[in-house]
Amino acid sequence: MDFTLDDDLRALAELSGRILTDFGEPAHLAKVEADHGGVDWQLWAALAEAGLLGIAVPERVGGAGMGMLGLVTLLEQQGRSVTPVPLWSTAVAMQALVQFGSAELVDHWLPELLTGSTVLSCAFATSPGETAVATATANGAGWLVRGDLGPVPAGDIAEAILLPAVTEGGELIMVVLRTKQTGVHITRIGVTSRESYALVCLDGAQVDAGQRLPGDGSRILEWTVRRARVALAALQLGVCAQALRMTADYTAKRVQFGRPLATNQAVTQRAADGYLDVEGIRLTTQRAALLMDGEHTDEEPKAALTAKWWAATAGLRVVHTAQHLHGGIGADIDYPIHRYFLWGRQLAFTMGSAGAIAAELGIELAHGASIGAPALTEPRHTEPAS
């Protein structure tokens, strides 16, 4: 595989990097976290105006048509700036909507999603031992949905949530559920990264038949979970690459005992290990995205799990390295590097820790079965706010 970005992807990286960097000043980020619930609506509007919210969906529906590799390129830049907008969850849900939704469903939701006036999130994880995040009981031309969705990204601001539910007959279906209705109870929670997350409890919320994604719900779920994990890996790539860059700059300038920290062999070796980890995340993430944009569907499950494993395992090593090599100032919440540490930890555990992903990957390698859905049967680790 050729991992060199083409001209269009380089232009995307340059444009998105410029926009995101403009909103990535530490003082601005602190204000967004404190006053705006962990969502930078100004940045969200800027991304929509630049046509970046639909980067992964086809041109025929108004998107940019750059697929998963385009989304990975965009999310890497977001990770570099640690700017809090609900990009990965909305983009992944939007992809599933376009790929599997009816024409009426796409026509209803997509225009407002592309302009940023509507946020669509997704919910996959649940409590241990359960097989889906919700149950669906027939009710006229639709269903009444019940269940606790757990930590949902942007759950407190989303107009709708894409989620799986099991019907009375045992069929798994994927539906788009409106959040502003009777039977939906939302509680905002604090998470490590300080982004927008919420607990969503459904107590007889109505979903009309037209809000179901037609087809095999299990297949749709697996397809979507794989892309969500690669999206998270792309964010982790940006977080780690920028954290390591900042650490290299700091250790080159910080003088201790008469010489820069970077001249110490142990510092250099640990930074070099961090570089190898970043490249491991990069190559596995880009490979997964390339496979998803091609015709290699049989290789997708292993590639997505491999990318997420590297994001969880190597990602934690890199952000710990960055904070350690900054010394005492690395623990100062007024110093920029701490935010990368928090994001790195959040991303490492979202939709599967390293151990959970390794277990899934082991089953995949041993049996070759498609196992995109077991994220539903494992606890999702959400750390308390720091």
Q: Checking DSSP bridges between strand 197-208 and strand 160-167, what pairing results, if any?
A: unpaired
Residue type, 29: L
pLDDT score of 132? 58
Q: Across all residues in the chain, what is the average pLDDT? A: 91
Question: What angle, rounded to 10 degrees, do the helices at 87-100 and 67-81 form?
Answer: 170
Count other Cβ atoms within 10 Å, centred on residue 295. 7
Cα distance between residue 277 and residue 285, in whole Å? 12
pLDDT score of 150? 81
Check residues 378 and 345 and name the one with the higher pLDDT.
345
CATH code 2.40.110.10 for 121-213: yes
Query: Does the pLDDT at position 129 exceed 80?
Result: no
pLDDT score of 133? 72
Contact assessment for residue 23 and residue 83, using Cβ atoms and an 8 Å cutoff: yes
pLDDT score of 379? 34
Strands (E), 71-229: 120-122, 135-138, 142-153, 160-167, 172-178, 184-189, 197-208, 212-213
When computed from its CA atoms, the radius of gyration of the chain, rounded to whole angstroms, is 20
CATH 1.20.140.10 region(s) of the chain?
Answer: 217-377
Contact assessment for residue 99 and residue 130, using Cβ atoms and an 8 Å cutoff: no
Q: What is the pLDDT of residues 275-321, one digit of tens each?
A: 999 999 999 999 999 999 997 788 999 999 999 999 999 999 999 99
83's enclosing H/E stretch is none
The first and second tokens of residue 27, run together, are 């003082």
Residues near 161 by beta carbon (within 8 Å), at least 6 away in sequence: 120, 121, 122, 123, 149, 152, 155, 176, 177, 179, 200
Q: What is the largest CA-CA distance in the chain?
A: 77
CATH class of 7-119: mainly alpha
Residues near 133 by beta carbon (within 8 Å), at least 6 away in sequence: 123, 124, 125, 126, 147, 148, 149, 150, 163, 164, 165, 376
Q: What is the pLDDT of residues 187-234, one digit of tens each?
A: 999 999 999 999 999 999 999 999 999 999 999 999 999 999 999 999
Domain 217-377 architecture: Up-down Bundle (1.20)
CATH 1.10.540.10 region(s) of the chain?
Answer: 7-119
CATH 2.40.110.10 region(s) of the chain?
Answer: 121-213
Mean pLDDT computed over 18-26: 96
Contact assessment for residue 322 and residue 330, using Cβ atoms and an 8 Å cutoff: yes
pLDDT score of 382? 44
Query: Does the pLDDT at position 131 exceed 70?
Result: no
pLDDT score of 280? 97
CA angle 208, 212, 213 (to 5 degrees): 165
Query: Does the pLDDT at position 240 exceed 90?
Result: yes
Q: Residues 273-285, buried b or exposed e (16+ Cβ, 10 A)?
A: ebeebbebbbbbb
